[in-house]
Amino acid sequence: MKIAKTLGQFIIEKQADFPYAKGELSRLLRDIGIAAKIVNREVNKAGLADILGENGTTNIQGEGQKKLDVYANEQFISALKHGGECCIVASEENDDYIHLDTDVSTDAKYIVAIDPLDGSSNIDVNVGIGTIFSIYRRKSTKGRAVLQDVLQRGVEQVAAGYVIYGSSTMLVYTTGKGVNGFTLDPSIGEFCLSHPEMKIPKDGVIYSINEGYYVHFPDGVKKYIKYCQVEDDKTKRPYTSRYIGSMVADIHRNLIKGGIFIYPITASAPKGKLRLVYECNPMAFIIEQAGGKASNGYERILDLEVTELHQRSAIFIGSENMVHKAEEMMAYFSPQVTKKTFEGLVAIQ
């Protein structure tokens, strides 16, 4: 029986890809893996412990925080602080970024942006949820790291990944040299390499979008949805609609099977709803490394300027040909939503 390679072994093996890191990035990824195991343990017993339901607080986006949201946030921050390789952690659950200045992290070189529990509205109904993380090297060289160290474009990420807590728990990550997936083996408590060199198909037959907001979508999105629904043997249409409501779960499925995930601008969310720093950039980095494409409908996600910690963006992400087709329809049917007007758009008629 062949013994699977563990996440720790794989990280050490690939450490030579980053000679400047001197092991810090490897240790940082290890710390994230440890925190993910702790969160996974609580997720798996959520129906037995007093950890379901609302926490009674809201995050900066005005969204109600679940008890597990808060717990996951605390665990990842604690693991990163203890590890000492991270100088700043920026979390979707916190208003501002957090300095992790301790005796061991004074000279830490890495910034971590994290969505501790994506899809948390699904917690109470036992639907797949996840964690999304993104890692950058700090730019400043003197004193404490600053906000500009966090506000880097997605193309400057040195690593990104997600953990999906579902029928099995998987950690998928990239350091810019392909994508690899690790499944948690509960018998030994280790993430083991199960999906080496992951590649997303160029085409797919799944589209993922919350069609309940159809009337509020730009015309280009409406036209693309209709395109997906029209029968055509050559392009294997009609496509299948699959929407879980958890970005990690929807994109993980499409990464394996091929498909597109769309969260566009709407009349009530003219800048988009998903967070660029915590969700769009890391997932875009992963999907591009797997051979896919990620766009806001007009521009590459990873090239977007980041001006705010909790900046929002629309996203079209998944199989290359599917995203390209959606971009074509946005350009043709929604030309008013151009680069110049995208940020200032108030409503879509």
Residues in the annotated binding site for substrate: 118-121, 210, 243, 273
The rounded distance, in Å, linking the Cα atoms of 324 and 263 is 15
Amino acid occupying residue 60:
I
Q: Which of 134, 97, 98 is nearest to 115 (CA)?
A: 134
Q: What is the DSSP letter of 263?
A: E
The CA-atom distances, in angstroms, between 138 and each of 112, 151, 302 are: 10, 10, 18
Amino acid occupying residue 283:
M
Binding residues: 92, 115, 117-121, 210, 243, 273, 279
Task: With H, G, I as helix, E, B as strand and everything else as coil, classify residue 223.
Answer: helix
- 288 phi and psi angles, rounded to 5 deg: -65, -40
End-to-end CA distance of the chain: 61
Binding residues for Mg(2+): 92, 115, 117-118, 279
Amino acid occupying residue 138:
R
Helix (H) / strand (E) element for 18: namely none
Residue indicated by tokens 């690939």 = 14
The rounded distance, in Å, linking the Cα atoms of 315 and 284 is 9
Q: Which of 135, 147, 148 is nearest to 25 (CA)?
A: 135
Q: Are 316 and 294 in contact (CB under 8 A)?
A: yes
Q: Six-digit token pair at 159?
A: 């690593």
CB atoms within 10 A of CB 149: 20
